[in-house]
Amino acid sequence: MRSCEGIARKRARQAEPPAPPRKTQDLVWWRRRFRLRILIFSQLLRLREWPPAPPTPNPQPLLFWPLALALVAAGCGYHVAGHADLVPKDIKTIAIPAFGNTTVQHKLSQLISEDLAREFVSRTRYVIVADPEQADAILQGAVTKFDSGATIIDPVSGRATGAQVIVILQVSLTDRHTGKALFSRLGYEFRERYEISIDPQAYFDESGTAITRLSRDVARSVVTAILVGF
């Protein structure tokens, strides 16, 4: 009986897989420990760098834009507004006679002349004089076309709810002493939109206000064009 049990135990031990050598177990254990330490160390480094630093901008675009703007300015003949580099230095005074007018809006020419005078006084170093014979330069112009019409129609009532004023003029700045044209612009077109109320009780003619806004826009644009030189 005992011999049978001994034989069974011996066979069971032989069936069991052999245990790995001690050195192999130690090597596997050290490898796992080493990987764990690397993982912990990398996590600690990330925590030290939190929050992450913002990305460093690429300096090349920053260097590119000033150069690009300089090239564009050189190509357009751009000058700083208010310096009037395109006008001779000996020009100190400017006369702005009332503009000519071939349209039905007779007051528009006088309105543009007055707005031009105010714009020159507020933005430039020039003195505006009434007598052209006392001026170094003369700014002359004429309103050659005035048109107004509906731009938006109400589909229910069929009445106009929006309109537009269109003005075309010609402008020139001339050196009175030499007769040289310092600035000239033909076919200068300006547009101004305004709304129209479809309620008869709330109706108010906005065309006059639109013409006033357009005149101021003309003055700003003309003075800017003379100073900038585009």
34 and 81 fall within a common domain: no
User: Would you state the pLDDT for residue 49?
Assistant: 53
Domain count, the chain: 2
Global confidence as pTM: 0.59
Please indicate, yes or no, whether residues 173 and 220 belong to a single structural domain of this protein. Answer: yes
> In terms of C-beta density within 10 A (0-12 exposed, 13-18 middle, 19 or more buried), how is residue 216 classed?
middle
* Among 125, 134, 224, CA closest to 176: 134
Range of the domain at 11: 2-48
Residue 219 and residue 141 share a domain? yes
The CA distance from 18 to 206, in Å, is: 104
The tokens describing 54, both together, are 């913002």
List the CATH number of the domain containing 91. 3.30.160.150
Q: Are residues 42 and 86 in the same domain?
A: no
Q: What is the pLDDT of residue 230?
A: 47
pLDDT tens digits for range 33-78 = 767 667 666 665 665 555 555 555 554 444 444 444 444 444 443 3
Q: In the structure, how many helices (H) and strands (E) does the chain have?
A: 5, 6
Give the CB-side neighbour count of residue 227, counting CA atoms within 13 A: 16
Domain membership of residue 57 (yes or no) is no
pLDDT tens figures, 148-185: 877 777 777 767 768 889 999 999 999 999 999 999 99
In contact, 163 and 207? CB cutoff 8 Å:
yes
User: Could you give the C-alpha distances from 185 to 78, 91, 112, 126, in angstroms and in order?
Assistant: 17, 20, 15, 20
